[in-house]
Structure 1
């Protein structure tokens, strides 16, 4: 969905009618349950995501990203950190799109 703002907006408006594959829809439903009802996750929930074609690693990553964003949001709310101007997000998005999350390699190659 990177770079497809219309698709992201469609998912935010209605997951069930958004232009996604069924596998993506299954994963997003699972993440919604992780987000809102993590104490009710059962093996059958994980099995449904696997049946849609997702690997253990992908499921682990989805859970981790969901948990981290929950942490970040609560931390930001509790400490009073507020949103940046749009320009800051745009610069960050450009940097991530071109260079990813890893920083530049040091001159020594380490």
Structure 2
């Protein structure tokens, strides 16, 4: 149960209600993170732009890597709600239960190319408070493995997004039982 009162559909601004209506019609409910963001239309809109551009659009990185980042960073940040949500999203994107389980066991348990593992390790390092210790050589290492500047920037942006959304979820107790 959230640590603050979350608005119900009727309490949301008309603009956010328009975004919420298709979700309600499809699923019958709004998640706690949606309700939390709906408290402030500016925060909702800024977050929605990130979700649309980082996670939903076809971009430089495949969906498998984006969801691996989502799961790994959310696990790293102890955000159970986000892990659970992204396990379901990963399934919808065609990632099977075994792959999801291996991601959650950790990068070394994953059956994927070493270059992908190196990018994911980099993302975990980027998610930590001492990310200022990342060097040009660390980035050059990724580039030598074949990752482009755009792919590296996108991976770090997705990492930053999950630090952001995990912080909101954790601070306000989303997904916790009453």
Category of TM-score, reference length = shorter chain:
0.5 to 0.7
Match of 2:112 in 1: 20
Match of 1:108 in 2: none
Match of 2:164 in 1: 71
Match of 2:74 in 1: none
Match of 1:97 in 2: none
Provide the C-alpha distance between the structure 1 equivalents of 2:109 and 2:172, rounded to a whole number of angstroms.
37
CA RMSD of aligned residues (A): 1.8
Runs of 4+ in 1 over 3 A off after TM superposition: none
Match of 1:101 in 2: none
Corresponding residue SS for 2:109: coil
Provide the C-alpha distance between the structure 2 equivalents of 1:58 and 1:52, rounded to a whole number of angstroms.
12
Corresponding residue SS for 1:16: helix
What's the TM-score, normalizing by structure 1?
Answer: 0.67
Match of 1:103 in 2: none
Higher relative contact order at CA 8 Å, sep ≥6: structure 1 or structure 2? 2
Q: Are the counterparts in 2 of residues 26 and 49 from structure 1 also a CA contact under 8 Å?
A: yes
Q: How far off is 1:45 after superposition?
A: 0.8
What's the TM-score, normalizing by structure 2?
Answer: 0.43
**Which runs of 5 or more residues in structure 2 are unaligned?**
1-63, 65-92
Residues matched between the structures, number: 83
**Which runs of 5 or more residues in structure 1 are unaligned?**
85-110
Q: How far off is 1:6 after superposition?
A: 1.3
